[in-house]
């Protein structure tokens, strides 16, 4: 039995659920959402589709105890409207997603869940770290989609420049799933040829290609108000690598012992989650960008930690004043 669960059935969670059911990937699927009517509606809609599919998925809703024997848990909750006026800043969601983790982590921790967690929440690197710390699950078990999606966007824009299939573009985007990410051009190949050797011949502007990849998500968000298809596809692909013990080499948000934070980097994904992190020979400039991106995650993580802690103290003080009749 391949048992999946999704916490948060908004745009991304619902798309993951639809993909799992239509592709016959999940034998059993648990949908959890604070909006019980939404969870029930998604369950009914997916059940209505079953008579026209070649597979069958058992779908249950809003029962954390079902996580006891769940193999893969997707955490996809968030507040997409926090990004409406964020001007490309995924950190605008952190105040909300951190509160979500504070709510769901104890519930997950209270179960016997011992599977793999794939996080898509934003800011992906920081909130994945926060979720792992809050649940006590191992760093191997918990990872985020991170720059797996950004790498796909890089593959798309490079493929367009060369009029080839994106799958023929290899290489990695490193760092934050955010503004400090960067394309490690020393790792990128086009049809097996290093892209750095093609710059002059094809008059490439690597900075422009990198910017197009970095801002790809915001181009989608500005048109439909959210992103869903690409991130859901990335999440499902990673889950399939876990179930198949594929030892898939791909970039994800994994914990870095070097930097002390979750950050987008190449890793090997297998049955236990992050089997290992891959260290490639980056250029000196790329190494500096990688460290800068990791430092950015750490700095903002602690800055938000301080702000939220201060807000929490003020709320407790205010509640105390109210209880004293002031």
Residue 256's φ and ψ, nearest 5 degrees, are -105, 115
Question: Under 8 Å CB-to-CB from 137, ≥6 apart: which residues?
Answer: 113, 117
State the DSSP string of 188-202: EEETTEEGGGTHHHH
- In 3D, which of 7, 38, 107, 98 has the Cα closest to residue 305? 98
Whether 177 is catalytic is yes
According to DSSP, the residues that pair with 97 across neighbouring strands are none
Q: Could you identify the residue written with the tokens 């407790």?
A: 316
Give CA–CA dist 205/190, Å, rounded. 15
If one counts every other C-beta atom within 10 angstroms of the C-beta of residue 311, the result is: 11
State the DSSP string of 168-230: GEEEEEEB-SSTT-EEEEEEEEETTEEGGGTHHHHT--HHHHHHHHHTHHHHHHHHHSS--HH
Give CA–CA dist 159/26, Å, rounded. 32
Q: Taking the alpha carbons of 280, 283, 287, 292 in that order, is the dihedral positive or negative?
A: negative
The catalytic residue among 65, 81, 177, 221 is 177
- Catalytic residue positions, numbered: 177
């Amino acid at each position: 039995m391949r048992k999946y669960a999704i916490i948060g059935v908004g745009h991304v969670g619902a798309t993951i659920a639809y993909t799992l059911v239509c592709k016959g990937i999940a034998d059993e699927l648990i949908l959890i959402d604070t909006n019980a009517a939404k969870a029930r509606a998604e369950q009914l809609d997916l059940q209505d589709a079953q008579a026209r599919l070649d597979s069958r998925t058992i779908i249950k809703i809003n029962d954390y105890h079902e996580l006891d024997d769940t193999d893969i848990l997707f955490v996809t909750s968030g507040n997409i409207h926090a990004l409406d006026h964020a001007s490309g800043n995924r950190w605008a969601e952190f105040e909300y997603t951190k509160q979500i983790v504070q709510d769901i982590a104890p519930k997950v921790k209270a179960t016997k869940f011992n599977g793999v967690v794939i996080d898509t929440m934003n800011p992906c690197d920081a909130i994945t770290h926060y979720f792992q710390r809050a649940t006590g699950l191992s760093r191997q078990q918990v990872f985020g989609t991170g720059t797996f999606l950004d790498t796909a966007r890089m593959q798309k824009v490079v493929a367009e420049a060369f009029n080839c299939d994106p799958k023929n573009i290899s290489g990695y985007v490193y760092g934050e799933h955010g503004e400090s990410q960067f394309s490690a051009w020393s790792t990128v190949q086009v049809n097996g040829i290093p892209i750095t050797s093609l710059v002059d011949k094809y008059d490439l502007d690597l900075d422009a290609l990198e910017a197009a990849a970095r801002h790809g998500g915001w181009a989608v968000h500005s048109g439909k108000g959210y992103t869903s298809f690409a991130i859901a596809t990335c999440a499902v692909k990673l889950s399939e690598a876990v179930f198949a013990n594929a030892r898939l080499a791909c970039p994800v948000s994994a914990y870095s012992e070097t930097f002390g934070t979750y950050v987008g980097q190449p890793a090997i994904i297998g049955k236990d989650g992050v089997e290992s992190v891959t260290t490639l020979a980056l250029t000196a400039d790329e190494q500096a960008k990688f460290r800068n991106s990791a430092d950015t995650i750490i700095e903002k993580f602690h800055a938000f930690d301080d702000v939220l802690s201060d807000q929490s103290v003020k709320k407790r003080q205010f509640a105390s004043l109210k209880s004293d009749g002031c």
